[in-house]
């Protein structure tokens, strides 16, 4: 049930890794939407293996240590694509910086647990937008052959052409081979533009935005550094609310025994009232984390944030919600009449076609009179279970249970007689070490929190025992910046 498209910023490019940090930014044209720089990837991946259980366990599934995996992969590619042995080339390639730039970048909830070593490389082949990569090497001709092999493409050089083609049955990419670097892009124009920018014939985004010093400083002590202009970065995890993003800065690296990525967004709010409303959502989750939940996924978000709820529903049902539109509208109405944070929990990994999840809203019976009547009009089966008034309704191939008592409303895909068993055998977040270990390092207040128990996913998918988890938090600071933090150990 996991989509392919989070961890791509962290665990991508196992085979990629340095033009001088400031120098590599000079390839990025002024009209690029974003760029990402990865520094010392080889060293960081080794550190991730040593310091984080998540990455260590992931590598265990490959039954090979990191150094061997990286070197063997590259050495094999070098042999197959160039016909020669070159350990020095492999070491050089794995320790060099890597730049990736383009128009828009989307980070989705399912990326948090998706591992794809060459996602960024592959995205060049599948993208309909302009993007390019820059990778330095002392032997760019060998590097070009290795990149071509990784992509399953073949370079074609036409005499007299500065920019040439890389072809396969699935499409065409364009490349330029410099003295100590290669550029690979989705169009001839974007490759030429990157080259012209680097040579000073076109203004770069670093100069235009006057962020050169800041980016150089940020990239010194971080594995990944990124800049995103305007709304070119979309994160599908936080609260969905109408504000304008001016720019986004991303840094990611290792802090103690955790991997931490911090995404800071400078915001323009539609009005002061909207800013105050957003501030009002930034509260502690103390009450929420004291309640029992179940599954490998737990989220807390503002009940007022209709867009956030719709996004969550679309993740779980992996569709645009059109077949469920009326039902989704009803859930949104219930959420809008609730107070505080919505709690959503469930199993990302399950044996059933129907998602195993539960949503909990705070409210009294009289708050939902109209919604109950709508359920009756939809021919929902109505009955009592313990102190809950239950409405059972069939939608497509799924059955939903709307349950109301004098304190809250529950909406779930689990039968009433089983939902309380799930909760009884579940957890209280602030009583488990994996949550507290990550949460204690973050801001006390939050707008949205998502906790993913990776250890349960590893156990379900691969039968591996590992103590590891991931926590996402969205918060707002006094300056009005929205800050997203993703951490795992």
Q: Are residues 26 and 113 part of one domain?
A: yes
Q: Are residues 338 and 207 part of one domain?
A: no
pLDDT above 80: residue 84: no
Residue that has been written with the tokens 């994160």 in this structure? 235
* Total number of domains in the chain: 2
Q: Are residues 370 and 283 part of one domain?
A: yes
Between the two ends of the chain, the Cα-to-Cα distance in Å is 24
Cα–Cα separations (whole angstroms), residue 368 to 225, 360, 487: 47, 14, 37
- pTM: predicted TM-score of the whole model, two decimal places: 0.85
> What is residue 18's DSSP assignment?
-
**pLDDT score for 444:** 92
Comparing C-alpha atoms, which of 100, 96, 97, 76 is closest to residue 87? Answer: 76
Q: Are residues 115 and 76 part of one domain?
A: yes
**Interacting residues of 399 by C-beta distance below 8 A, sequence separation 6+:** 354, 392, 393, 413
Are 229 and 34 in contact, with CB atoms under 8 Å apart?
A: yes
Q: Is 159 exposed, middle or buried (0-12, 13-18, 19+ CB in 10 A)?
A: exposed
Does a structural domain hold residue 261? no
Are 185 and 131 in contact, with CB atoms under 8 Å apart?
A: yes
Does a structural domain hold residue 263? no
**pLDDT score for 117:** 40
Does a structural domain hold residue 266? no
CB count in 10 Å sphere of residue 207: 15
Q: What DSSP string describes 381-431?
A: EEEEETTEEEEEEEETTEEEEEEE-SSEEEEESS-HHHHHHHHHTSEEGGG
pLDDT above 70: residue 77: no
Does a structural domain hold residue 311? yes
Q: Are residues 279 and 224 part of one domain?
A: no
Q: What DSSP string describes 71-114?
A: HHHHHHHHHHHHSS--HHHHHHHHHS-EEEEES-EEE-GGGGG-
Query: What pairs with residue 482 in β-bridges?
Result: 265, 476
Does a structural domain hold residue 489? no
Q: Are residues 180 and 288 part of one domain?
A: no
Q: Are residues 406 and 295 part of one domain?
A: yes
Q: Are residues 291 and 219 part of one domain?
A: no
Does a structural domain hold residue 455? yes
pLDDT digits (tens, 9 = 90+) for 238-264: 777 768 899 999 999 999 889 999 999
pLDDT digits (tens, 9 = 90+) for 205-229: 988 898 988 888 888 889 889 999 9
The dihedral through the CA atoms of 456, 460, 462, 463 has a sign that is positive
Does a structural domain hold residue 50? yes
Of 44-48, 101-105, 315-319, 362-366, the one with minimum mean pLDDT is 315-319
Range of the structural domain that residue 231 is part of = 8-242
Query: What pairs with residue 388 in β-bridges?
Result: 385
Rounded Cα gap, residues 201 and 125, in angstroms: 28
Q: Are residues 177 and 96 part of one domain?
A: yes
pLDDT digits (tens, 9 = 90+) for 365-404: 888 999 999 999 999 999 999 999 999 999 878 899 999 9
pLDDT above 70: residue 119: no
pLDDT digits (tens, 9 = 90+) for 304-354: 888 888 888 887 876 556 777 888 889 999 999 998 999 999 998 888 878
Q: Are residues 326 and 233 part of one domain?
A: no
Does a structural domain hold residue 352? yes
**pLDDT score for 55:** 79
Rounded-to-5 percentages of helix, strand, coil across the chain? 35, 30, 35
Comparing C-alpha atoms, which of 266, 269, 378 is closest to residue 329? Answer: 378
Q: Are residues 58 and 204 part of one domain?
A: yes
Q: Is 311 exposed, middle or buried (0-12, 13-18, 19+ CB in 10 A)?
A: buried
> What is residue 192's DSSP assignment?
H
Rounded Cα gap, residues 222 and 249, in angstroms: 12
Q: Are residues 122 and 28 part of one domain?
A: yes
């Amino acid at each position: 049930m996991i989509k392919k498209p989070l961890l791509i910023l962290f665990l991508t490019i196992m085979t990629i890794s340095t033009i001088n940090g400031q120098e590599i930014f000079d390839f990025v044209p002024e009209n690029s939407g974003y760029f990402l720089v990865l520094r010392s990837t080889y060293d960081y991946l080794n550190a991730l293996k040593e310091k984080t259980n998540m990455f260590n366990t992931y590598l265990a599934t490959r039954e090979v240590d990191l150094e061997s995996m990286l070197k063997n992969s590259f050495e094999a590619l070098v042999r197959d694509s160039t016909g020669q042995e070159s350990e020095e080339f492999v070491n050089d390639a794995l320790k060099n910086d890597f730049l990736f730039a383009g128009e828009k970048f989307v980070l989705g909830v399912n990326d948090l647990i998706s591992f794809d070593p060459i996602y960024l490389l592959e995205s060049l082949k599948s993208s309909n937008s302009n993007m390019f990569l820059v990778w330095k090497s002392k032997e760019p001709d060998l590097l070009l052959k290795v990149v071509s092999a990784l992509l399953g493409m073949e370079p074609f050089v036409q005499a007299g052409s500065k920019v040439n083609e890389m072809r396969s049955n699935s499409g065409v990419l364009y490349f330029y081979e410099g003295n100590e670097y290669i550029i690979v892009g989705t169009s001839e124009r974007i490759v030429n533009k990157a080259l012209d920018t680097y040579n000073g014939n076109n203004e770069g985004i670093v100069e235009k935005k006057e962020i050169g010093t800041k980016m150089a400083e940020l990239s010194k002590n971080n594995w990944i550094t990124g800049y995103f202009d305007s709304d070119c970065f979309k994160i599908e995890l936080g609260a969905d609310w109408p504000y304008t993003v001016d720019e986004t800065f991303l840094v990611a690296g290792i802090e103690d025994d955790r991997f931490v990525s911090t995404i800071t967004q400078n915001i323009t709010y539609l009005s002061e009232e909207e800013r105050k409303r957003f501030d009002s959502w930034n509260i502690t989750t103390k009450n929420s984390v004291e309640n029992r939940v179940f599954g490998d996924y737990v989220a807390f978000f503002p009940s007022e944030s209709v867009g956030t709820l719709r996004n969550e529903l679309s993740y779980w049902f992996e569709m645009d919600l059109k077949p469920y539109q009326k039902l989704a509208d009803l859930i949104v109405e219930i959420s809008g009449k609730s107070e505080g944070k919505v709690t959503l929990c469930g199993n990302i990994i399950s044996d059933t076609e129907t998602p195993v999840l539960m949503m909990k809203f705070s409210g009294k019976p009289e708050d939902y009179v109209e919604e109950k009547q709508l359920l009756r009009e939809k021919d929902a089966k109505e009955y009592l279970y313990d102190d809950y008034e239950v409405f059972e309704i069939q939608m497509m191939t799924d059955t939903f249970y709307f349950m109301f008592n004098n304190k809250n409303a529950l909406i779930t895909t689990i039968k009433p007689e089983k939902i309380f068993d799930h909760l009884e055998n579940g957890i209280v977040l602030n009583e488990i070490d994996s949550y507290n270990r990550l949460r204690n390092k973050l801001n006390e207040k939050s707008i949205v929190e998502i906790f993913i128990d990776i250890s349960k996913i590893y156990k379900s998918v691969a039968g591996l025992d590992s103590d590891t988890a991931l926590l996402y938090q969205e918060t707002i600071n006094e300056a009005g910046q929205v800050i997203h933090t993703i951490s795992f150990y």
